[in-house]
Structure 1
Amino acid sequence: MDTQSAARDRERDTGSVTAARADARAQGDQQSEWMPYLPASSTPHPPEGVDPSTLTWAETVAPGGYTHKVLARGTRIRLDDPTGDACAHVLLFNALEQVERLNVADTRKIPWQAYLSDGHPLLSGDGRVLATVDRDTSHRHDTFCGTSSDAWNQHKYGDARPEGPTPSGQALFTLAAAKHGLGPRDLVPAVSFFQGVTVEPDGSFTWLGSAGPAGVDLIAELPLTVLIANVAHPLDPRERYQVGPLRVHAWTSSPTGPGDRAYEASPERERAYLNTIDYAQARGL
């Protein structure tokens, strides 16, 4: 703590209930570089072309931070990497029945494509589409490695604690999951956005890194519980734990349906979207 901060703390009077209340209220207008914006319309970084009054989620996630939200079917979620150093590890759960969650193997298998980009469905193990990737300006993503583990971060950086300087994605996902009644056994492999990985002919992985500042949208095809950990990618070869801020915005939009490019891309995708629509309609969504 610097000298000025220490002096300010000494000047704060919290010796009575009245003084403590006044002190707490005095802190209410303080801002941080990374925080949720309430109401969401107050975001300092509104997405271009989006009416701020329609936003349902607005937040800047700190480097080494996490966030979580329950969102309605048809919500459009925009992830923005303003510096080129964010790495958004994402887990998705059906908010109505959280036993249904992201299945990375099916996410690669059903579209016959392992590399995420525009129109790629993110599938559950029940043959339904949880979300669809849209408006991708990065094309540097990963469905192979998942997020970083406690053991890996401890080995590479010497610390994996969620409150430490080099938190693992596993540690942060554990905290986020607990807020929705989920435990460590619910934490399946995640997909990662903004730090790419490719597979070589011999089966080894090559880290591609970032494409620079970029963004990607996800369309919620079912009500979703969304968990995001903004942590260094496990294959990042840099010795220093390096990750930048992540901006998250969401607003009401429309789910994918007949006539949309993603829906009609292949017979397998159409079937997955039909399964999703059938599930949603039966529940009045």
Structure 2
Amino acid sequence: MHLTDSVHSARDDARAQGGQAGEWMPYLPASAGPHCPPGVDRAALVWAETVAPGGYTHKVVARGSRLRFDDPTGDACAHLLLFNALEPVERLNVADTQKIPWQAYLGVNHPLLSGDGRIMAVVSGDSSGRHDAFCGTTTDAWNARKYGDARPEGPSPSGRGLFVKAAAKHGLNRRDLPPSVSFFQGVRVQADGALTWQGSAGPGAHVELVAEMPLLVLVANVAHPLDPRPGYVVGPLRVHAWRGAATGPDEERFTATPELHRAYLNTVDYCEARGL
């Protein structure tokens, strides 16, 4: 029983809840999280969180940070938006992310580019191979039509609705939200142009990114818009980040192609001018 009939009772009741933990939560400090990625020093962690099915999260991370997304059940779908944390008008550009590397399918060493010709992040590790840079995320209208409900607090929230909530916490609104990419539920383009959902690679897959500039990261863990299953199927998503270094000129991907080399030079120029 909760006794809150006075200020002192309410205080005592609130303090009695201390130490309790939920299944879906950020861990503070991050080093206290129970799922530290293999080979990572716990002391270096700056973000450790399990995102609920139908949940969202957001974080500002420094240049050089490593981000890792894990799909423990095979049903997570990590819809991702990136913004320049210093100047959020610079944001993920999915068209350039497909065009500049001459490759529409996300995988290791694939850059996530902004519309300013800079590399915001790069995929540095991938055990899934099932991703999507075509469809974006779900909308309220889509989810209401398919599932009968799209409320952010309801049983089948849309990715767009959750992105709006996450963006608002950083002074952004729905007009600031570009198309997103997603990890762990694959899509392929057929010869006739049709988009085909591949599903996941199964439980235990992970994706790692390197932040090539200071980033505002928004994540919505919701069902993929092409998922043919009638129910709202999505599993938990684990998110970690730890300190590291941005890609340097001695690394192969820095000069892998003329286009990527130019994009990296643009990025380094921007960051070094700001003392990053």
Q: TM-score, normalised by structure 2?
A: 0.99
Q: Give me the whole-angstrom Cα distance separating, in 2, the residues matched to 1:100 and 1:273.
A: 16
- Indicate the larger mover: 81-90 or 261-270: 261-270
Q: Give me the whole-angstrom Cα distance separating, in 2, the residues matched to 1:222 and 1:142.
A: 23
Structure-2 residue corresponding to 1:96 = 86
Structure-1 residue corresponding to 2:237 = 246
Q: Give me the whole-angstrom Cα distance separating, in 1, the residues matched to 2:131 and 2:254.
A: 21
Structure-2 residue corresponding to 1:106 = 96
Alignment match of 1:18 (pick from 8, 26, 30)? 8
Structure-2 residue corresponding to 1:257 = 248
Q: Give me the whole-angstrom Cα distance separating, in 1, the residues matched to 2:86 and 2:200.
A: 34
List alignment gaps of at least 5 residues for structure 1. Answer: 1-10
1:262 aligned counterpart, secondary structure: helix
Structure-2 residue corresponding to 1:173 = 163
1:154: how far off?
0.5
Q: Give me the whole-angstrom Cα distance separating, in 1, the residues matched to 2:33 and 2:13.
A: 25
Given the alignment of the two structures, is residue 218 of structure 1 paired with residue 217 of structure 2, yes or no?
A: no
Alignment match of 1:154 (pick from 144, 165, 185)? 144
Matches within 5 A, 1:1-285: 11-213=1-203, 214-285=205-276
Q: Deviations over 1:181-234 (max 9, x none)?
A: 111011100000000000001111000000012001111000000000000000
- Indicate the larger mover: 258-267 or 171-180: 258-267
Q: Give me the whole-angstrom Cα distance separating, in 1, the residues matched to 2:111 and 2:233.
A: 29
Answer yes or no: is the 8 Å Cα contact 1:120–1:262 preserved in 2. Answer: no
1:269 aligned counterpart, secondary structure: helix
Query: What's the % identity of the aligned pairs?
Result: 71
Q: Which amino acid aligns with 1:155?
A: R
Number of positions where the alignment pairs a residue of Structure 1 with one of Structure 2: 275
Q: Which amino acid aligns with 1:80?
A: D
2:227 aligned counterpart, secondary structure: coil
1:62: how far off?
0.2
- Provide the alpha-carbon RMSD of the alignment: 0.6
Q: Which amino acid aligns with 2:195?
A: F
2:126 aligned counterpart, secondary structure: coil
Q: Give me the whole-angstrom Cα distance separating, in 2, the residues matched to 1:13 and 1:261.
A: 62
Answer yes or no: is the 8 Å Cα contact 1:119–1:261 preserved in 2. Answer: no
Answer yes or no: is the 8 Å Cα contact 1:76–1:217 preserved in 2. Answer: yes
2:255 aligned counterpart, secondary structure: coil
Structure 1 segments (4+ residues) deviating >3 Å? none
Q: Give me the whole-angstrom Cα distance separating, in 2, the residues matched to 1:193 and 1:125.
A: 21
Answer yes or no: is the 8 Å Cα contact 1:85–1:242 preserved in 2. Answer: yes
1:22 aligned counterpart, secondary structure: helix
1:259: how far off?
2.1
Q: Which amino acid aligns with 1:25?
A: R
Q: Which amino acid aligns with 1:221?
A: E
Q: Which amino acid aligns with 1:154?
A: A
Q: Which amino acid aligns with 2:239?
A: V
Q: Deviations over 1:156-178 (max 9, x none)?
A: 00111100000000100000000
Structure-2 residue corresponding to 1:4 = none
Q: Give me the whole-angstrom Cα distance separating, in 1, the residues matched to 2:140 and 2:272.
A: 41
1:261: how far off?
2.4
